[in-house]
Amino acid sequence: MALLHQMAPSNPEDIHMVRPQMGDAPEGGPSEASGLTSDLPGNTHARYPDRQDDREETATSTDVVCVGEALWDLSTPTGMSLDDATALSLSPGGGAVNVALTLAELGLRAGLVAAVGDDPVGRALIAHVTRRGVDVSRVRTTSAIRTGLVFLTHAPLRAVSYRAVLKEALALRDALPRSFDTKVVHISGLLPSRAGLLALERAARQARSEGARVTLDANLRPRLWAGDAIKRADPRRLFTVVDVLKVSEDDLRLLGLSDPRDLTPVLRPEAVVVATFGAAKTRALGPFGEVRAGGPALAVESTIGAGDAFVAGLLSVLAREERGEHLDRATIERAIQRGNEVARQSLSGQSLVVK
């Protein structure tokens, strides 16, 4: 427990209780959930002396580079509350980390772009992800943030989150590399920071100029994007530069939309949008028309992690396509099928099958 004691927040407002499917809460409580255009008062680049631009690039070539959050998940045993638990299981968390780990398990060369605290918790996270086969040469440590912790409890199903997401968004901004050297750049888990989103937009444009395909899992999470956050941080700007946009039913609702077709005006003409509606169905729309498919229907207690597994399966197909080629109906059908297979395997506890 010494590790947890070291990371305990000095400010009680850093502790938040949220539903796991809603994501994690920002620093300072609900008042900052809407995001601020200026993000953090007085923020300057000097607060992040280890900016990526000042470092030599050391990353190796990969199939997919995942960009986003990196944190620790601490889970109670199934059916047990946090009050009753005497032991917790520790596992890496954050959409980008989960997707990268699954891709590595599927036999692809996966890399990670993320920022973690310059602390034992952050270094342990990097070591763990490294041992599981992910290239962490683009992961940066910084004293500007603490490594996030999320406690997951199953009775009832909820999460207790120790994070400062606005600071994390700026730290990720400053960890973005000058070059990606990969086939696919996947961005995951948008945070309500205008500065962070603008940096991701620039990074996406850079990746596309290098010939990489850019994919985005919006994963907006209602707790973070409450109030006028959509209007003020404007995630739609990032949608305009991606090749594949994955959204959920919750994402559509937060954007004030009822159908994925409503996203067409903000996407590039060749872009594809993949919309998931729980475990019931998936719809994909692009220049080829529309593809519809069922989801991985299983009788399980929790579907946590299935979304990231689906995305990893999807990317495992897209990464094998030639760069510069438009995605056709057959490719998208294969990608969705593979995504559902991997999601089903993750929910049932099966070992992932490399194809």
Tokens for 187, please give them: 């961005």
Strand 213-217 relative to strand 244-248: parallel, antiparallel, unpaired? parallel
Residue 275, SS3 per DSSP: strand
CATH top-level class for 64-71+95-146+164-348?
A: alpha beta
Q: Which amino acid would we find at residue 118?
A: D
- Helix (H) or strand (E) holding 329, with range, is helix 329-348
Q: Which amino acid would we find at residue 159?
A: A
Q: What is the largest CA-CA distance in the chain?
A: 55
Task: Please tell me whether the overall predicted TM-score, pTM, comes out greater than 0.85 for this model.
Answer: no
CB 265 within 8 A of CB 239: no
d(CA 39, CA 165): 10
Tell me the pLDDT of the chain (355 aa) as tens digits: 444 444 444 443 344 444 443 333 333 333 233 333 334 333 333 332 333 333 344 455 899 999 999 999 999 998 888 888 899 999 999 999 999 999 999 999 999 999 999 999 999 999 999 999 999 999 999 999 999 999 988 777 788 888 999 999 999 999 999 999 999 999 998 999 999 999 999 999 999 999 999 999 999 988 888 888 998 999 999 999 999 999 999 999 999 999 999 999 999 999 999 999 976 689 999 999 999 998 655 544 555 678 899 999 999 999 999 876 789 999 999 999 999 999 988 887 655 555 6
Q: Where are the domains of the chain?
A: 64-71+95-146+164-348
